[in-house]
Structure 1
C-alpha cells in the first residue's frame, strides 16, 4: 500500500508510547510471493519440476493452482486448516519509509514436515533450505544430510534470529551457500569463522552484490566475479535474489559452469527487476540472448543459448 504523505509528520513528540494511527492509503497491490514459492515458480517456468515444501493455510487453493500451472509440484505442502498462509503487509510513504508486518500463520507448523516421505521414490538432486521457522530450517538441513541429498543453505532473512550454533549447523557441508553481501558479513560475525574457514566448509559460495552482480567462490578460494545484466528499468526489487538462485541452479543443472550459470541467473534476475511482482516476469529467448551478448560478449551468449532456449521451451501456461 502507498500512503501519500510522510509518516514522520504524524508522530507526536512525547506521545510515541501511545501511538494510535490509521493511514488512508491510495493504492493496494496484492502480489504472490514468499521465498520458497518465488524460487519454485522460477524453477518451474525454466522447465524444472521443483517440489515446494512449506506450510500454508486453508486460503492457499488459488495460489496452489497458480504454482501448479507453472510447473511446481505442491505435494510437499502442508495445509493447516486453522491458520492463514504467511503474509507480509507493507505501507510505504512518499519518502520510501515503510511500516510493515509479517504474519507467519501456518509457517509455525513447517517443522512438522518430514522430507523422507516427500523424496521417497523420486530422483531429488538438491534440497534448498531457505528462510522459514528456525526449527524447520534446522530439521530439514539435518534430514537432507541423513538422506544423503546435497543441500543448499540460504538463511537470508532469518540470520538475525539464529544463534551461532544454528548458523554453523545450517551452513556446514552445504553444496551451495547463497547470501547477499550484508548477509555474508552477518553470517561471518555470528559463526565466528574467518571467511576462508566458511569458504572451506561449503562446496560453492555465491554472494549477490545487487547492481554489482555476484561473486562466486569455490572451496579452494578461487573467485569469479560476474557483472549484472543492466536493467532497462527498475520497477520492483522484490524477488530478484530468489530468481537469481533459481536461474543459477538451472544453469548448473544444465551443464553450465558456475560463471555461465551466474550470467544466466543475472538475466533472469533482471527480468524480475523489470517487472512488478516476483512472479509476473517474462523472458523471450532472442531478446535474452541479445542482452547476454551485450552484457558478457557473444561467445558467452552462444555458450548459454542452448540452456536458455531449452529452459523457455516449456509449454505455455494459463495466467
Structure 2
C-alpha cells in the first residue's frame, strides 16, 4: 500500500546544459549535457520519494504515445503505483525542453496543449486515496480546469478520508489572490510555496508577512522556500523560524529543486521527524538535487541525503 498519494503533472524533460541566448546566433552549439529524463511536479516528487524508500501512488494524465510509455516504464522501474494514470489517445504527453544557463537557472519550452496542464478534479477519486496517510496536490495553479472552488472541495473530501492534505504551488496564472484561495488553503495541513509564488498570492514582499497571511488563511503549516537562503517555516502555534540551506552546495541545475524539497519534507514527515527537522532534511535533498542535471536525477538514496543532512546540520 502507498505511503503517499501524489496528484499532478508527469511529463518528459529534455534538459540542455549550458544554454543561453547566444544559441540563437549560431547554427549549431555544443552542450555539456543533453538528456532525456522525466519531469513534471508530481513525477519529480514521486521519483525522489521512491529513491528515499517510500511507496508512492501517482495520479496524472498522459497520452498513449511514446512519451507516455516512457513515463510508465520509468515509474514501473521505480516501483511507483500507476494504477490511477489516465491514458488518453487524444492527448499528447507533455515534453519540455529545459534550457539551463551557467548559473543553474532554467527556461522552458512547453507544449501548452499537452498533458502538462490536463489534469481535472474528477481524476482524483476517493478510491485513489485508499491505503495512504498523506495526499499532496503537487502544484496549485498548474491546471486551468481545476478552479479554487474545486480545490477546496477536493481537499475537504480527502481530509474527511483521514489523510494529511498538502499542496505546493506555482505562480498564479489568472491573478488568483488570497481571498479566493482561502477556502482551499484552510483545508491544508502543509502548504508549500517559493518566495515569488507566496508573494504573488499574498501581495506581500516580506517572507514572514507572506507566511503570516497563509497561516491566517487557515493553513496549519506554511513553508516558504527561499532557494539558496533555505526556507521559512510557520504554523498556527506562532512558530516563525528560518532554516538555513546546506552550505557549500555546487549548483548546476535548479530544475526540480522545489519538488525535491517537498519530497524530502514528506520523507521526513513519514519517518516521524518534527516540523523543523523535516525542513532540514528537505534542504539536504534539494542541495543534492541541484548538483546534478535533471529534475529528479540527483537524489539516489536515503543514505546519500542523510550524509548531506548530517554534514549541514550536526547535532
Q: Same fold (TM over 0.5)?
A: yes
Taking the TM superposition and a 5 Å limit, the aligned residue runs for 1:34-183 are 34-59=40-65, 60-91=68-99, 100-104=108-112, 105-107=114-116, 109-111=118-120, 113-119=122-128, 122-131=130-139, 132-136=142-146, 138=148, 139=150, 141-147=152-158, 148=160, 149-157=163-171, 159-164=172-177, 166-183=180-197
Inter-CA distance 70–140: structure 2 relative to 1 (3 Å threshold):
farther
Structure 1 segments, 4+ long, off by >6 Å, are: 2-5, 92-99
State the match for 1:18 in structure 2.
Answer: none
Contact in 1 for aligned 2:284/2:312 (Cα 8 Å): no
Structure number with higher helix proportion: 1
> Partners of 2:101 and 2:262 in 1: how far apart?
30
Higher mean C-alpha deviation, range 161-170 or range 207-216? 161-170
Identify unmatched segments of 5+ residues in structure 2: 1-15
Say what the alpha-carbon RMSD is for the aligned residues.
3.1
Larger Rg: 1
Alpha carbons of structure 1 residues 5 and 43: separation in structure 2 relative to 1, 3 Å: closer
Change (3 A) 1:97 1:126: closer
Tell me which protein shows more strand as a share of its residues: 2
Change in CA separation of 1:135 and 1:170 when aligned onto 2, cut-off 3 Å: farther
How far apart are the structure 1 equivalents of 2:285 and 2:107?
29
TM-score, normalising length from structure 1?
Answer: 0.76
Alignment of 1:1-319 (within 5 A): 1=16, 6-7=21-22, 24-27=28-31, 28-59=34-65, 60-91=68-99, 100-104=108-112, 105-107=114-116, 109-111=118-120, 113-119=122-128, 122-131=130-139, 132-136=142-146, 138=148, 139=150, 141-147=152-158, 148=160, 149-157=163-171, 159-164=172-177, 166-189=180-203, 196-200=212-216, 201-283=218-300, 288-297=305-314, 299=315
**Which has the larger displacement, 225-234 or 179-188?**
225-234
Give the deviation of 1:155 after TM superposition.
Answer: 1.9
Task: Quickly say closer, same or farther: Cα 1:61–1:226, change in 2 above 3 A.
Answer: same
Q: CA deviation at 1:243?
A: 0.7
Aligned-pair CA distance for 1:189: 2.0
**Rounded Cα–Cα distance in structure 2 between residues aligned with 1:95 and 1:257:** 33
- How far off its partner does 1:76 sit? 1.6
CA offsets per residue over residues 32-67 of structure 1, 9 Å max, x none? 211110011111111222211111112311211112
Unaligned 5+ segments in structure 1 are 11-21, 300-319
